[in-house]
Structures are given as structure tokens and as C-alpha cells.
Amino acid sequence: MRDFRSAPTQAADLPYATRLASTNFPVKLYTWPDCGGPCDKARALMVRRAVPFREVSVVTQKEADELQALSGKNEVPTLAVGTQVHVGFQESAYNGMLDAAGYPSSAPPLPIEALRRVGSADKAQQRRGEGAGGTPDSEAAGR
């Protein structure tokens, strides 16, 4: 079982709407190790939307029983968002469930802290005259 809540992004780094949604409507994605395309697409959608989720790889009888109790079926991928469950991968259904739970529809491009670090490093390099040719003009000419 992989828990994507703790890595690589810490909960405090997530946007407020995402933290609120993940508290009220936690997301679990049930997969098999050899599920292939449908599970890969489901996983990619969660990552693209920056949804913190817990992936349960159904390999033991306990996990199979949990999936059966949750969905009434033994099929993957199965997505659970709070108490809502969808069996099989259907992007529009997954997006609808995530939207209804309040998850943002897209991931932020970069956290503000990363933008601040990039800006500070660029200014420091410019003050020191660092870069490919020592100046921004010579750097641009080299392209």
C-alpha cells in the first residue's frame, strides 16, 4: 500500500482547498500490481490534479475483502472519494467525484516558495555576474 499523502508534498504545502477536501473526503485508489493501463490512467489523473490519495494494491485476501465490501465487486481500478465509489476507470466520473468533493481541478504550477527561491537565486546570480557568459546579454547570444 502506497500513501501519497506524505511524499513528496507535505500536507502544509498543499493549497487550503485540497487540505480541506482531503480531510473531509479522503481518496483511496484500489489497484492490482498487473492492472496496467486503466490503473496507470487513474493514478496519472490523481497526480495531474495533485490529489493526495492512498493507493491500495490488492494482493492479500484482507485487501480483496475490503474492496468487495466497499464496491460489491472485485474489479480495479476502484476509486473511493469519501463515501462515493466508482468501479473501473472513467475520467469524467473520477473528475466529477473529485469536483463534488471540492478538490481543485488542476495542480498549482509551482508553490509560491519555489517561485521565491527561483527569483532570489536569479537576482543573486545577476549581482555576481554569473551565467553562461557572465552577463544576461552574452547568455542570450549563446542561444
State the pLDDT confidence band at 119, using cuts at 50, 70 and 90.
very low
What lies within 8 Å, CB to CB, of 70 at 6+ separation is 30, 78, 80, 85
CA distance 65 to 70: 8
Q: Per-residue pLDDT for 107 more than 60?
A: yes
Q: Which CATH code is given to the segment(s) 2-101?
A: 3.40.30.10
Sequence spans of domains, the chain = 2-101, 112-141
Highest average pLDDT, of 46-55, 90-99, 106-115, comes from 90-99
Q: Compute the distance between CA of residue 51 and CA of residue 4 in angstroms, rounded to an integer.
A: 9
- What is the share, in percent, of the chain residues with pLDDT greater than 70? 66
- For 91, other C-beta atoms within 10 Å of its C-beta total 11
Q: What does the alpha-carbon distance between residue 141 and residue 143 come to, in Å, rounded to a whole number?
A: 5
Place of cell 490512467: 41
Q: What is the pTM of this model?
A: 0.69
